[in-house]
Amino acid sequence: MTIKLPSIGFGTYLIANNQLEHCIPVVLKAGYRHIDTAQVYQNEEGVGKALYKALRDQGLTREEIFITTKVYTGNQNRGQSPMTYLETLSSIESSLEKLHLDYIDLYLIHAPFCKNERVDQWRAMIELKNLGKAKSVGVSNYNQIHIEEIKQAGLPIPDANQIELHPWSQKTDLVSYLQRNTIPIIAFSSLAPLSNWRSQKGEKSSKSKQMKIDGEDPNSPFKLIAKKYGVSEAQVLLKWALQHKYAIIPKSSKHHRIKQNINLDSFVINSKDMETLSSLHRSDGGLAWPEGDPTLLD
């Protein structure tokens, strides 16, 4: 099944419930039709409340909006028990209630931490799709090994995989595998190379001091290419992803950036500049997870 996944969505990680009340109306007016959240973000309630009001105020229907949320199925390294089949099956109920929805457009397993329970958890996801509680089901932070487990169990493969992708972490082998298996790719943390990415107190990542210095360099490739095209560095990074055919979910609580991040049709990065950006790869391990990129797990 090919899902009707909007190419540009709005990410909500680290945006508080009370902020979403002001962000979501701006997001929809700007033209976003995909909103991405997760149970561990603890903001599904804010998304749901703001979305309910904004749809009514702007004359939009539920069917025009694509909602992604994620179930965090446990992580023993954090002292969390892995979810069972039944727990995974029932996990969607709290999301539906908080989001004020009858169904989720795309329901994802947030990460592949539960090695011995992953297949059973995926069986539950398939059942949620069969029940109509999720139109599509997928995974996040899964690599080839994790998806091959699903195939070997004789189960349908994910409808999408959401992974960290940007010029510093390109995951070319995983991307090729997903493309060969026609699994749509959603890129998160597209803006990780920027100096202001997760720069506020309490915003954690595995970004090194040197990476932060590199991001501030006035002669960084991102700054030079942005200047050449008359756009922001963020727009360059997002356009790079779109030109690779990845869906994107940029996050910002600033209204002018929300509008800027979807305004990507005015320029095309030429092949030479795309090659320059692609030459900046540092590691398949991304920066978003402080303890390390889950796609590197077996």
SS (H, E, C) the chain: CCCCCCCECEECCCCCHHHHHHHHHHHHHHCCCEEECCHHHCCHHHHHHHHHHHHHHHCCCHHHCEEEEEECCCCHHHCCCCCCHHHHHHCHHHHHHHHCCCCEEEEEECCCCCCCCHHHHHHHHHHHHHCCCEEEEEEECCCHHHHHHHHHCCCCCCCCEEEECECCECCHHHHHHHHHCCCCEEEECCCCCCCCCCCCCCCCCCCCHHHHHHHHCCCCHHHHHHHHHCCCHHHHHHHHHHHCCCEECCCCCCHHHHHHHHCCCCCCCCHHHHHHHHCCCCCCCCCCCCCCCHHHCC
Give the CA radius of gyration of the chain.
Answer: 19
CB-facing half-sphere around the CA of 211: CA atoms within 13 A: 21
| 13 classed as catalytic | no
- Considering the candidates 13, 32, 41, 229, report the single residue annotated as catalytic: 41
Which residues are annotated as catalytic? 41
